[in-house]
Structure 1
């Protein structure tokens, strides 16, 4: 991995000096053409000295008039009124109109360099402290003259200084005790186009005041192309000035450099429990003592009733905006569960025995959160052995996969509802589905194609409604006498006694094998129009 190029030592440009003189109450004119962030100090101009572009030179208006061309490309602070036409082309300059005490102006400029140099030294020292991020913000409070905070990509606030009433609300993470941005604020950001666009920025930028009531200067933090979080300056105590952009960019570059070098670890949130459960979900070998320690810590028993839930979203920016906040809210609503990040989603292991719950009870507790977050959830069947968590996790994944390709309008999918689909899919692993199913279905399809009839669908609906004539006729929008005629025709064509339970089961399972329930009705609708039917289905191997 290519390490980020970073040159320690904060360098100024004339814009920063102009901002400082303006704050001191001095009347100035700023000319920014050619202004670069390369300045390391200030020098008094004297005849015969060699001019260097990394210094800003203090010169009187009278001296400049006769030596203007010598200063081409050299930053300068001019004491006294000067005609702008005298200034060399592409040369940054500050003209100080208040000339009562030129040495005072020089001292002010020197103070700007000294103050920012001390800040830079303190930043470097902060990185070796026990709480480096907090030390960095404390050191930066007087530079920006506004409240600052740093949050990671999950909106956990890693450090903060200057927070007060009236600023954006905070929530407490019950898992870690850390402070985080309120979920209501995060949800507002999810629909804010300006915020979304700002997530791509590599340099300091401004977030408008519409959401929070005050502007926020922010700098995203990156490890190559991986978003890690943000540094933010709230415009509460004083107005953001142009030099603040440069200072915040330097602060961001400094943090990115040390993050890439592995010297800062506060941007990741995980714990031993998460690692244990991830390993178990993946079917990896886990030390039994670790499992028992976890159960004892949670006050769970190995033989309690458990389910596993897998939660995902279609939103591409979900992890950037609200993943940790959602995870935190899930644990708040399901107190007998543990939620953690896994395979680009959230996995939840829930103990149902603790509160004598049913799976639907756990799902209903997070219903509002799921709907508002446009999330979908797969729910496993119950297991009675904690050591079978990997099986429960697989069931949750299968339920989610089948549910998402179904025409269901619900956001939750239970494995029990798709169990037969999964069994039928696995049954076709060694023998193609069209060969494994009953030959009666092939006969009906061929007959329908030749005669433009609908016997294939009629039998399916009839079997799914457990031979209830009224419900079958209603779903097919036909008269009962028409249904009776069709059933007689079916019986004659396939020669199967539908009064025998095993024959009905064979036919119904054959439908599941030919086309899983999740897509069967869609394919039937297509087959009516095209006269063909897709007999393929995903292989069982793909689920592994």
Structure 2
């Protein structure tokens, strides 16, 4: 750990009347020593502390430095002249203590990284070093760690959003992009002081890059004290350590998320939000709050980061689709397209050929605020489709919804108890006599008890249908004029279909 005279001057709280800094070389030092009268060579990386005017002819190695008490320059190297009622040893001890404290803090930082104590603890140590709140975010502005006071009058709304929501809202990111602030921010190769019209409070930005790719941002926010040049230098010292910390964190995702991803995920999870906030995000997404929406969940059998990114890019080409990575799946939000159901299905069928996995499709429901319900439908469609071992890999919720109420039952007997006894009699009779009475009654009810369309659907003569209905009445006297009995018959048909396909635990 090496520090500059700028940091030493600021940390010792000298004002311009007490100290004069001359540091054209911006040298940094790892150790401090007393300046001996017999010393002829100042070593690189060492800060020498002496008293009085310079009387010696020194040979100064590049990167050496001087700190003189009650002395003055010009200095042969980077120098700090201090005027004050101190003893030489008091000054030396103060500077030595500063070196010790900073070295101890950086050792704690390194230990936290090596022992993988988590990004939050790393951020807390950095905040103590910098003396200001620290925000650590990934490249899509999702918060990885924050340390600082939770309530401050001067905290702007967007800093508060990062603190409360855990990510920067999409509309603010779009403002940064459209104003070129984000491009300017991400172009920096070292720590920069940023004054943004969207954040108000000045802050230091350090871009964390690995092999040229942006991994995230390390912000030091000037909320507790004014940001100084020494703070910028400390941020540059701490930045590489934080990059090591996030790259070694097992939960860190190297893939750059889409800027809207965190908001969409909050909506999929049903996180409570104020309507005004939702409106702002939807407007930035160029969507209609009250439009109809469909959610599609794609479950790849094998996780392949590159393939998943390619699939997401293909989805984004479909009229306003917004795909995100959520729970090891690709979840896509489609506006309007469910109205052209066949068109959407055909696009997904084409897409399914390039992936090895399953696809669940929700209903279309008006209102962006209903994404959570739509996500549950899409996820349930996959669960039911797999449990029923359907022949396709694309499952629409509307096709399997009738089985949804049965997911909570673990054993066949729990469902069989709800079955209409007459339907069980017909099922047994069909099995023993190779008849089709269950199918006949089901088709008859689905055609609203109209004989002609029922006979046509069964490909039988109307007289044959009458015979079957008479036989069904002999086996069990159904009251088909009772709406509730008809409902129970149809429920039983769904249960019997479910029981014939679904797998259950041992009874």
Q: Structure 1-normalised TM-score?
A: 0.49
1:141 aligns with 2:127: yes
What secondary structure is seen at the aligned counterpart in 1 of 2:132?
A: coil
Task: Using the TM superposition, give the Cα deviation of residue 113 of structure 1 relative to its aligned residue in structure 2, in angstroms.
Answer: 0.6
What secondary structure is seen at the aligned counterpart in 1 of 2:145?
A: strand
Task: Using the TM superposition, give the Cα deviation of residue 199 of structure 1 relative to its aligned residue in structure 2, in angstroms.
Answer: 0.8
Native 8 Å contact 1:146 1:236 kept in 2: yes
Q: Specify whether residues 132 and 26 from structure 1 end up closer, same or farther in structure 2 by C-alpha distance, changes over 3 A only.
A: farther
- Cα distance in 2 between the residues matched to 1:206 and 1:344: 38
Q: Which runs of 5+ in 1 are unaligned?
A: 1-9, 271-318, 350-358, 365-374, 397-544
- Cα distance in 1 between the residues matched to 2:6 and 2:250: 34
Choose which of 250, 269, 272 in structure 2 pairs with 1:265: 250
1:267-346 counterparts in 2 under 5 A?
A: 267-268=252-253, 322-325=259-262, 327-328=264-265, 331=268, 337-338=296-297, 342-343=309-310, 345=312
What secondary structure is seen at the aligned counterpart in 2 of 1:214?
A: coil
Provide Cα deviations, 1:49-88, integer angstroms capped at 9, x if missing partner: 56322210011124x2x10434575301000032x34x22
1:22 aligns with 2:10: no
Choose which of 191, 194, 215 in structure 2 pairs with 1:207: 194
Task: Using the TM superposition, give the Cα deviation of residue 329 of structure 1 relative to its aligned residue in structure 2, in angstroms.
Answer: 6.7
Say how many residue pairs are matched.
307
Q: Specify whether residues 335 and 236 from structure 1 end up closer, same or farther in structure 2 by C-alpha distance, changes over 3 A only.
A: farther
Task: Using the TM superposition, give the Cα deviation of residue 339 of structure 1 relative to its aligned residue in structure 2, in angstroms.
Answer: 8.5
What secondary structure is seen at the aligned counterpart in 2 of 1:222?
A: strand
- Cα distance in 2 between the residues matched to 1:395 and 1:382: 19
Q: Specify whether residues 378 and 257 from structure 1 end up closer, same or farther in structure 2 by C-alpha distance, changes over 3 A only.
A: farther
Native 8 Å contact 2:207 2:216 kept in 1: yes
1:196 aligns with 2:183: yes
1:69 aligns with 2:58: yes
CA RMSD of aligned residues (A): 4.2
- Cα distance in 2 between the residues matched to 1:154 and 1:266: 15
1:43 aligns with 2:33: yes
1:381-460 counterparts in 2 under 5 A?
A: 382=341, 391=349, 393=351
Choose which of 105, 108, 121 in structure 2 pairs with 1:122: 108
What secondary structure is seen at the aligned counterpart in 1 of 2:341?
A: coil
Q: Specify whether residues 246 and 195 from structure 1 end up closer, same or farther in structure 2 by C-alpha distance, changes over 3 A only.
A: same
- Cα distance in 1 between the residues matched to 2:218 and 2:61: 37
Q: Specify whether residues 344 and 256 from structure 1 end up closer, same or farther in structure 2 by C-alpha distance, changes over 3 A only.
A: farther
Provide Cα deviations, 1:211-239, integer angstroms capped at 9, x if missing partner: 21111101011111111110101111101
Native 8 Å contact 1:207 1:216 kept in 2: yes
What secondary structure is seen at the aligned counterpart in 2 of 1:98?
A: coil
Task: Using the TM superposition, give the Cα deviation of residue 25 of structure 1 relative to its aligned residue in structure 2, in angstroms.
Answer: 9.1
Native 8 Å contact 1:339 1:348 kept in 2: no
Provide Cα deviations, 1:351-406, integer angstroms capped at 9, x if missing partner: xxxxxxxx99x989xxxxxxxxxx998958637999x995163699xxxxxxxxxx
Q: Specify whether residues 232 and 187 from structure 1 end up closer, same or farther in structure 2 by C-alpha distance, changes over 3 A only.
A: same
Q: Specify whether residues 326 and 96 from structure 1 end up closer, same or farther in structure 2 by C-alpha distance, changes over 3 A only.
A: same
Choose which of 75, 78, 86 in structure 2 pairs with 1:100: 86
- Cα distance in 2 between the residues matched to 1:101 and 1:163: 38
Q: Specify whether residues 250 and 132 from structure 1 end up closer, same or farther in structure 2 by C-alpha distance, changes over 3 A only.
A: farther
Choose which of 224, 245, 252 in structure 1 pairs with 2:211: 224
Native 8 Å contact 2:218 2:239 kept in 1: yes
1:52 aligns with 2:52: no
Which residue number corresponds to residue 138 of structure 2?
152
- Cα distance in 2 between the residues matched to 1:45 and 1:13: 18
- Cα distance in 2 between the residues matched to 1:26 and 1:180: 44
Provide Cα deviations, 1:4-54, integer angstroms capped at 9, x if missing partner: xxxxxx2112121122223589810000122322x1111111233563222
Q: Structure 2-normalised TM-score?
A: 0.52
1:234-249 counterparts in 2 under 5 A?
A: 234-249=221-236
Task: Using the TM superposition, give the Cα deviation of residue 325 of structure 1 relative to its aligned residue in structure 2, in angstroms.
Answer: 4.0
